[in-house]
Amino acid sequence: MKYLITGGAGFIGTNFIYYMLEKHPENEYVCLDKLTYAGNLANLKKAMEYKNFQFVKGDITDREFVFNLFEQEKFDVVVNLAAESHVDRSIENPGPFLTTNVLGTQVLLDACRKYGVVRFHQISTDEVYGDLPLDRPELKFKESDPLKPSSPYSASKASADLLVLAYHRTYGLPVTISRCSNNYGPYQFPEKLIPLMIINAMNEKELPVYGTGQNVRDWIYVTDHCEAIELILEKGRVGEVYNIGGNCEKRNIDVVKMIVQKLGKSEELIRFVKDRPGHDLRYAMDISKMKEEFGWEPKVGFEEGIERTIEWYKANKEWWKEIINGEYMEYYNRTYGHMY
């Protein structure tokens, strides 16, 4: 089978490519990525050594380019991870989120219709459901819940989900969607909570916690997400949505304190800063469908996952030093400069 993996030079895409190269060497893989600020070709250096892997630089919104690629390569399976993915950037400037996440998805769906695939899989997020209150721990998101996104990012992801489902209903396209909670692990861009806190703490820099740090996220180690996607591609029913989560709800402040403690730093580095506008309070996933249909459950506990992640950032200082020397610092100063 020939796979197209879009957004494969980003965090989850990179992990997914290595996971699949290892688990399914029988397939061919093409990664299509625009290499935005979040995409890093260096992530795929080892993948380039595989004969069954190929990297193509390109934009999923470029219809002519995407159609030519489909015509040439004749993909069997498309896994769409390409997206603008950071909530704070979507609040600053929603435009690129709508362009890539909605219109880019439409281009891929149209190419799948024209050239035919056995599966189009859309990587989506728990954020499409909106948020849950902090004082109702029994509530969790189910696949059948209405979509109620809060940020321009999550609104763009929800729009893409609706479009994917419409292409199934209207054109019979064989689609699946997975909605996953917060991932963490190697190769995550340090604008996101966990790598940002690890790198700042290692550098003895302040640790900016939004609001009071009570917001809750459900954390999943990235390889558990990769395994869930693999199962959906193998056994998922077309037209279906699957929730993926880590069974691991944590308050932000507790995550930050754990990182500080594991790195042997002082909690005095923690600063409570201005809250994110529209900040979702709590995400929690009901993952019983994944368990019932495939027997899937997350395997990596938070303590182990955080330790592995910290080790990776310690061992790969060159990787993140390159990043924090570039556009990142401008973004950092724009975002955090006025918050203290």
Should residue 6 be labelled a site residue for ligand NAD when binding is judged by CB under 6 A? yes
Q: Are 245 and 298 in contact (CB under 8 A)?
A: yes
Should residue 196 be labelled a site residue for ligand TDX when binding is judged by CB under 6 A? yes
Binding to ligand NAD by CB under 6 A, coded x per residue (else -) over 56-85, reads ---xxx-------------------xxxxx
Q: Which of residues 262-281 bind ligand TDX (CB under 6 A)?
A: 276
Exposure string (b/e) for 164-199, b if CB count within 10 Å is 16 or more?
bbebbeeeebbbbbbbbbbbbbbbbbbbbbbbbbbb
SS3 194: helix
Partner whose binding site includes residue 12, from ligand NAD, ligand TDX, none (CB under 5 to 8 Å by kind) = ligand NAD
Residue placing its CB nearer to ligand TDX in the complex, 50 or 331 = 331
Exposure string (b/e) for 33-57, b if CB count within 10 Å is 16 or more?
bbebebbbeebbeebeebebbebee
Among 40, 80, 105, 215, binds ligand TDX (CB under 6 A): 215
Q: What are phi and psi of 300, to 5 degrees?
A: -90, 120
Should residue 168 be labelled a site residue for ligand TDX when binding is judged by CB under 6 A? no
Q: Provide the 10 A C-beta neighbour count for residue 256.
A: 25
| Among 72-80, 131-139, 202-210, 292-300, the segment contacting ligand TDX (CB under 6 A) | 202-210
Helix pair 327-336, 317-325: axis angle to 10 deg: 70
Should residue 223 be labelled a site residue for ligand NAD when binding is judged by CB under 6 A? no
* Nearest approach, Cβ of residue 285 and ligand TDX (Å): 11
Among 105, 150, 159, 182, binds ligand NAD (CB under 6 A): 182
Give CA–CA dist 176/173, Å, rounded.
10
Give CA–CA dist 203/83, Å, rounded.
29
Should residue 123 be labelled a site residue for ligand NAD when binding is judged by CB under 6 A? yes
Tell how strand 119-125 and strand 175-180 pair up: parallel
Among 18, 59, 69, 86, binds ligand TDX (CB under 6 A): 86
Q: What ranges make up the beta strands (E) of the chain?
A: 2-6, 28-33, 53-57, 77-80, 119-125, 175-180, 182-184, 207-210, 216-221, 240-244, 249-251, 270-273
Catalytic amino acids? 126-127, 153
Residue placing its CB nearer to ligand TDX in the complex, 87 or 306 = 87
Should residue 209 be labelled a site residue for ligand NAD when binding is judged by CB under 6 A? no
* Nearest approach, Cβ of residue 102 and ligand NAD (Å): 11
Applying CB under 6 A, the residues found at the interface with ligand TDX are 85-87, 125, 127, 182, 192-193, 196, 208-210, 215, 217, 252, 276
Applying CB under 6 A, the residues found at the interface with ligand NAD are 6-7, 9-13, 33-36, 38-39, 59-61, 81-85, 100, 104, 123, 125, 157, 180, 182-183, 189
